[in-house]
């Protein structure tokens, strides 16, 4: 574990230069559906727009559904990875 220890210690000691220089692009994982009519609320096929709560961006139903699917997929993958790590 000596190798990993030194690796993590070095990583924590030096500030990542490229990360502070580049503005991270919002992955839009916090998109929430919006409905024009309150009566349509909850009906995914009648969503008027999606709004990202992280960056405030708004997207069409097609775009928003894509971000929701991507976020769900990302969550599923990380969940699988966690279970795999726990198994070992
Ligand atoms: Zn966003």
Residue 83: half-sphere exposure toward Cβ, Cα within 13 Å: 6
CB contact at 8 A, 61 and 50: yes
Confidence of residue 17 (pLDDT cuts 50, 70, 90): low
Beta bridge mates, 32: 51
> Which residue reads 């990875």 in tokens?
81
Confidence of residue 83 (pLDDT cuts 50, 70, 90): confident
pTM for this prediction: 0.59
Distance 25 CA to ligand 1 centre (A): 8
From CA 88, how far away is CA 83, in angstroms rounded?
Answer: 9
- What DSSP character marks residue 49? E
- What DSSP character marks residue 40? G
* pLDDT at position 36: 94
- What DSSP character marks residue 79? H
Distance 58 CA to ligand 1 centre (A): 8
Domain range annotation of the chain:
26-87
* pLDDT at position 67: 93
- For the stretch 37-82, pLDDT in tens is 999 999 988 999 999 999 999 999 999 999 999 989 988 999 999 9
């Amino acid at each position: 574990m000596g190798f990993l220890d030194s690796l993590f210690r070095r990583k924590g000691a030096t500030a990542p230069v490229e990360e502070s220089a580049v503005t991270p692009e919002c992955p839009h994982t916090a998109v929430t559906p919006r409905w024009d009519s309150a009566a349509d609320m909850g009906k995914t096929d009648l969503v008027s727009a999606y709004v990202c709560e992280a960056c405030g961006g708004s997207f069409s139903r097609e775009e928003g559904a894509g971000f929701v699917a991507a976020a769900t997929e990302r969550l599923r993958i990380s969940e699988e990875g966690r279970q795999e790590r726990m198994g070992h």
